[in-house]
Amino acid sequence: MHAFTAASVWLLLLLPISSYARNGHTLSPGPYSHPPNWEPGFYNSTTTSNTQGTHTRKQKHSKSRTSSDIATTTTTTPASPGRPVARDDDEKARIVIYTNDLSDALLYTKYTHININFWNRDYNDWYIDATAFQEAGKKVLISAYGGGVTPTSNGNDPIEDARMLAEFVQRNGLDGVDIDWEDGPSLGNGGEEWLITLTRELREQLPSPYLITHAPQAPHFSPGLYYGGAYITVDQEAGHLIDFYNVQYYNQGSSSYDDCECLLFYARGWAPQTAVFEIHDTLGIPLNKLVIGKPVTEDGVDDGSTGYMDPSGLIECFRQAGEQGWNAGGMGWRFGLDLDGTWADQLSEALAM
């Protein structure tokens, strides 16, 4: 949680919607789901190399990250850029993971999509060699922003950000972009239009087979909760340009999404109609675009928040959802908590991969 104190967030949860949604400006009462920039508690220092150069990243160990903790990066010559050779197969389940580095350990896991977190304008000049991972059949994307980063509120030009991101993807030969936008205070105050403009320009710059994914917090699909519509509006205007959503079903207080009923069929708490099948039935978003995002372990949940499910419980939910036509897959936060790939192995069996 980065934008508010814990006390102020829980105060918002107790207020009626009209108390924080008036005057056309809506605050997101849920705490931020993805800490900003690099993963806490992963590596102190990581140096990866490719055939043409190296890059080094350093970070501090901490539970909560701020902009002062962002990794430092040294770059040389980029790896050879390329273009994705095949579009994501909508009929196949995905297992997505967020990571701050392309550790070789990822090569031996069943993760299908790797989101490197996080890009922002201050970290646009580093290079990534994803060749070995792509040759192993994995998609490698750069994820932008993350929790605590507020590009809309800060006045970033979405077209400029999109062009910088697209250039980053093309320069590094990546498979696409993931947008982890958590600038909640700008919803109803230009945030929706900012995201729509960003997505449209990204697709203009990164046509198929490049992937464009978004990682909205589940409450941002709740009808009537946000003055500007939040991700309901984004999907209506630009959803056809988005390949799938890594929906963050965690860190949302009383909307805990911690059993199959709440996760799949009937969302409880402050964010109604945001369970997977409720989003599909109410908003018409295809089931194969609703990837279920969960923390890999309890350590992936913000202190005092909710949303973690043990693998056996999550597998049962996947089984129930699969019986009703869902096969989008799962997203894990984060690889630093699953270095041996056990979580991915368990989910892949449930998804019949």
- CATH number where 302 lies: 3.20.20.80
pLDDT tier for residue 161 given thresholds of 50, 70 and 90: very high
Structural domain of 110: 6-350
β-strand partners of 47? 56
- Which span out of 19-28, 80-89, 117-126 was modeled with the highest average pLDDT? 117-126
**What are the CA-CA distances from residue 267 to residues 28, 208, 273, 327 (Å)?**
17, 34, 6, 20
Give the mean pLDDT of the chain. 81
Render pLDDT for 40-61 as a digit per residue (tens, 0 to 9): 322 222 333 333 332 222 222 2
Measured CA to CA, the distance from residue 267 to residue 273 in angstroms comes to 6
The answer for residues whose C-beta is within 8 angstroms of residue 220's C-beta and 6 or more apart is 28, 187, 226, 230, 231, 232
Give a yes or no: residue 271 inside a domain.
Answer: yes
Tell me: pLDDT of 30 over 70: no
Give a yes or no: residue 1 inside a domain.
Answer: no
CA pseudo-torsion sign 61, 56, 99, 43: negative
Q: How many helices (H) and strands (E) does the chain have?
A: 10, 11
Torsion angles phi and psi, residue 169, rounded to 5: -60, -50
Render pLDDT for 103-114 as a digit per residue (tens, 0 to 9): 999 999 999 999
**pLDDT reported for residue 9:** 34
Measured CA to CA, the distance from residue 189 to residue 200 in angstroms comes to 19
Q: Decide: 322 and 24 in contact? Cβ < 8 Å.
A: no
Render pLDDT for 299-326 as a digit per residue (tens, 0 to 9): 999 988 999 999 999 999 999 999 999 9
Give a yes or no: residue 99 inside a domain.
Answer: yes
| Number of compact structural domains in the chain | 1
The answer for residues whose C-beta is within 8 angstroms of residue 193's C-beta and 6 or more apart is none
Give a yes or no: residue 161 inside a domain.
Answer: yes
For the chain, what percent of residues have pLDDT higher than 90? 71
Tell me: pLDDT of 206 over 60: yes
Please name which of 251, 292, 290 lies closest in space to residue 147, comparing C-alpha atoms: 251
**pLDDT reported for residue 352:** 82
Give a yes or no: residue 198 inside a domain.
Answer: yes
Give a yes or no: residue 299 inside a domain.
Answer: yes
Opening angle at CA 115, ends 197 and 80, nearest 5: 90
**pLDDT reported for residue 1:** 32
Give a yes or no: residue 255 inside a domain.
Answer: yes
Give a yes or no: residue 22 inside a domain.
Answer: yes
**pLDDT reported for residue 115:** 99
Amino acid at 309: M
CA 141 to chain centre: 11
Half-sphere exposure in the Cβ direction for 197 (13 Å, CA): 12
Torsion of CA 252, 186, 160, 119, to 10 degrees: -30
pTM above 0.95, yes or no: no
